[in-house]
Amino acid sequence: MAYINPEKERGTINFARGVPPPEAFPTQQLQECARAVLEREGSVVLQYHPAAGFVPLREWLADRYGVAMECVLVSNGSLQILDFLTRLLTSPGDVVLVEKPSYDRAITLFRRAGARVVGVPLKPDGFERQALERLLEEEKPDFFYTIPDFQNPTGITTSLAKREKLVELAERHDFWVLEDSPYRDLRYWGEEVSVIFSLGSEKVLHLSSFSKVLSPGMRVGYILGPEHVVSALAKIAEDTYITPNMVSQGVVYEYCRRGWLGPNIERLKGLYRPRLETLASALQAYLPQAQWTRPEGGFFVGAYLPSEVDVSLLKAKAQEERVTLSDGRGFFPDEDGSAFLRLPFCALSAPNIQEGISRLGSIVNMLIR
Ligand SMILES: Cc1ncc(COP(=O)(O)O)c(C=O)c1O
């Protein structure tokens, strides 16, 4: 992500950036936690430490998820762990499966490791079952990478039936399920669906992060999995950076220990829910041609435009009207995705969302005519 220049950005409505806004950060509370942890545990967090992460935070997470501490590794963000996992589980030429569309950085990372990235189309309730079953008759994937809760980039949540099916297929065909759920706690409506990791299979690894519920700049993400996988990852971590960022992990632990995470998540839901409501009604009013699934949480809506709209032209025209869009093709592993728009609503005010979608609607109408 490019450094954001606020001067250049002024007046532009940016739908290309899926990051928390500054008002999402509990800065004062974090200052307090930093001071407290440096006073109390300075000699620990300022020192090298075992690579699996700050022990009290690992214990806190183990308790939260009902696993042993040896099954938890905390690292510098979950993307770093995904990189370690890719090194551990794949060799050049291997097949890995992703939802289509999926998180663009994950696709890039798998490709960089030499993997052949194959997409399984995504339906409004998760991956297309028959397509996955057909693929598994032909391919022997190392893993299926899934973002089952409020997916990046579509906002879609995978149903319980499909989560159960995935576990069954992973056991039968012997591949790993990488469940990446950084948005899971940001549910604005509806009923929670069980994490795949809790469905009783040793083939599931659960990744998550404090980036979306606290701060991405702190770089604290984690994985839960069988002990042998966690210790293999810890070895890669140790050979990469010796010790993760202990000061950040200490601050995050202090924040959690004080019981502040839950109330912060509730505050964030109050911030983001109305933004999603505004985006949903603006799409209905100004872009009725677009097809999208209404998310129940997270940061994104993914919209498909009619095929007659040339999205590169739309992007260029939108930029002239000071609306920035990301390139939909980056989210697709093996077909163009040029009709796809990822619309993050988290960092935009309601009036900007309204105005941005209204400008896009006018351009689309002009392009269709
Ligand atoms: C699905 C998904 N996984 C992982 C990440 C990276 O998270 P972290 O900041 O913990 O590295 C993101 C960030 O946008 C994401 O959307």
Averaged pLDDT in 10-residue chunks for the chain of 369 residues: 50 92 97 98 96 98 97 98 98 98 97 97 98 97 98 98 98 98 98 96 97 98 98 98 98 98 98 98 97 98 91 91 92 86 96 96 90
Task: Compute the distance from residue 288 Cα to the ligand 1 centre, in Å.
Answer: 30
pLDDT at position 186, please? 98
Question: Quick one: which atom of ligand 1 is closest to the CA of 151?
Answer: 1
pLDDT at position 7, please? 44
Task: Compute the distance from residue 21 Cα to the ligand 1 centre, in Å.
Answer: 15
Which mutation among 98, 99, 102, 105 tests ligand 1's pocket best, with the greatest number of atoms within 8 A of CB? Answer: 105
Pocket residues: Cβ below 6 A from ligand 1: 18, 77-79, 103, 147, 152, 180, 182, 209, 211, 216, 221
pLDDT at position 10, please? 62
272-368 has the same fold as 27-257: no
Q: Can you read off the two tokens belonging to residue 220?
A: 């604290």
Question: Quick one: which of 41, 43, 52, 38 has its CA closest to 241?
Answer: 52
Q: Using an 8 Å Cβ cutoff, are 145 and 180 in contact?
A: yes
pLDDT at position 11, please? 79
Q: What is the DSSP letter of 122?
A: E
- Spelled out in words, what is the top-level CATH class assigned to the domain 27-257? alpha beta
pLDDT at position 1, please? 47
Question: Quick one: which atom of ligand 1 is closest to the CA of 81?
Answer: 11
Instruction: Identify the CATH number of the domain defined by range 272-368.
Output: 3.90.1150.10
What is the domain partition of the chain in residue ranges?
27-257, 272-368
Task: Report DSSP letters for 61-107, one per residue.
Answer: HHHHHTS-GGGEEEESSHHHHHHHHHHHH--TT-EEEEEES--HHHH
What number of other Cβ atoms are within 10 A of residue 108's Cβ? 11
pLDDT at position 309, please? 87
pLDDT at position 172, please? 97
Question: Quick one: which atom of ligand 1 is closest to the CA of 82?
Answer: 4
